[in-house]
Amino acid sequence: GPTTTPMGGGLESANVKLRRALDLYANVRPVTIPDEGIDWTFFRENTEGEYALGSRGVELPGMAVDFKVTTDAGTRRIARA
C-alpha cells in the first residue's frame, strides 16, 4: 500500500477518498513471526470509525475531543471478512 498519505483537497486524504469510493472496507494486516509461533491476521475497518466523519472534533485548551462512527452493518461486515 501507500507509504505516504497525499492530500486530496479538503479534510480527507486521497487514500481515504479512494477507500470510500471503491468500498475498500477491510485493511488486512498479516503478522507472522515463525520463531515465536505467531501467525496472526488483524482486520481494521477502513470506511467507518475515525475515517467516517473526517476531522470534526472539538479543540479545547489542553484537550481534543473527536467522534467515531461504528454501525452494526459495518461491524458485521468486517467480522465476516
Per residue in 19-76, pLDDT tens? 888 988 898 999 999 999 999 999 988 888 776 666 666 777 887 777 778 889 988 9
Q: How is the chain split into domains, by residue range?
A: 50-81
Residue whose entry in the numeric block shows the C-alpha cell 507509504: 3
Phi and psi at residue 61, to the nearest 5°: -55, 120
- Residue 80 pLDDT: 92
CA distance 69 to 48: 6
pTM: 0.57
In three-state secondary structure terms, 74 is helix
In three-state secondary structure terms, 54 is coil
